[in-house]
Structure 1
């Protein structure tokens, strides 16, 4: 028997499929569903793989599932290389030329961008690549590409370290929004100094997962949120319900025709950063998604910068305030 064959037999080569599935999903139940086995089987196969690798620990149990250790991340990089080569030999698999791309892609994004931008258009990408399964983690917090928790992450700040490839995806703007019903019931707002007299909506300060979300400090020291949530979608719902005034990304606030911009001269600019691991940036599924998302952001630039629908609402509100002065 050849040495390489002996090694493959000793490590139970098919256990690597179980490893790949758990590494990409992070949850035993989801990995088991993909592999058409039960979760106990997945756990047993992972333990067997760890023993065959000399007792290395490949995963640790985290709050949100199974997280790769450093040994697990090194193994993932090598196994994905093998996977690409095997697919190429088979003449199918993860090809870069469209519908034939296969595999699993995990994308991490902030809740607002993930919900209102990526999710709104993701069917377009999925339709072009029907054999690719896609996870969109759009929540309060980010998965870390440097730890191989995600293939692609859209972050609010440029990472300062790690084996990462980073590029600026797009700027975006945020403005103050209120429901027409709220403004009808409350005194007009002509300057920032009027804001403390109104009910402001914002983030819970000690639950901010990124300092870039600390918007209200830029409006003045006396401006404080009295209705707070860690969720931008919940904040939007409160604003839409007429509960107060909130800072929303224009790509959220301008979509709702019942909202108008307050103090149109007040605009906050932030940026989205697109991040991939340096070992996976050339994977066809990753490269295709990065190209698609970059193109989408160019198409959506006016919406991201608030240069579309909301301008009409702003003009209407300005006229209303002038009439009340």
Structure 2
């Protein structure tokens, strides 16, 4: 704001009035600048939050509601636990939204079916046997959306936050580079003999046996519902089955959820749901939820790279693992 000194006595009144107006304008400009600075700092990632969202399965409207509840801003990092597509009303819409907000996702089992079908078509090869729905979703994605989608890695890890994000799970006592990607997309239980299965076997959920050091955040298991263990958090709460869509906010370490707008598909087995009391804050019933380490930095998140897109294939291959 430019200020001018007025010497003429005849103009004293107008000068006083003008100075007052300038002070008001200057104050308004300061407030506006402060607001812009605060928004800009948040968008630069100085004080962001990480929003980890459970299985979406095409429920795009619930994703938007959950982001509003999380007070999402451009500086935040959204990460999905996989299975963005299939079963629900708008799989293509979920992918489009995720790409627009610069989100990241790990690869789920349904995602993998869609990706490998479309990649086969792109190569001119015979498409693999997948469900009609998976092929329909694959055809519905735009080229830009599919290029974003096909780069989904097997896992995303952050040593700064002390978390490992994966779709289904990890095998305890097995180093991360030696984990089988297929199991990471499909496993649910570990039998007493140590064998891994995708079946629901009571009292043998893999997350019970995971001892860290990283805390695993995963989805895939709507039947067991919300899972809280000292070193594992399961976020699949059956949104597509009429349950809820759940997210973990970091580094605040808080769970939020929104109710599904409707039941989009029937589950063959009863899905364990939880009530709205979990929407604000949840403490593990099997022990206190430990604080996540560190604060987010722009380079604090690393991931296992997806299969080479140049090869035109996305079959799981242990050669694509990344050691932190």
Establish whether TM, by shorter chain, passes 0.5: no
Q: TM-score, normalised by structure 1?
A: 0.25
Relative to its length, the structure with more helix (as a share) is 1
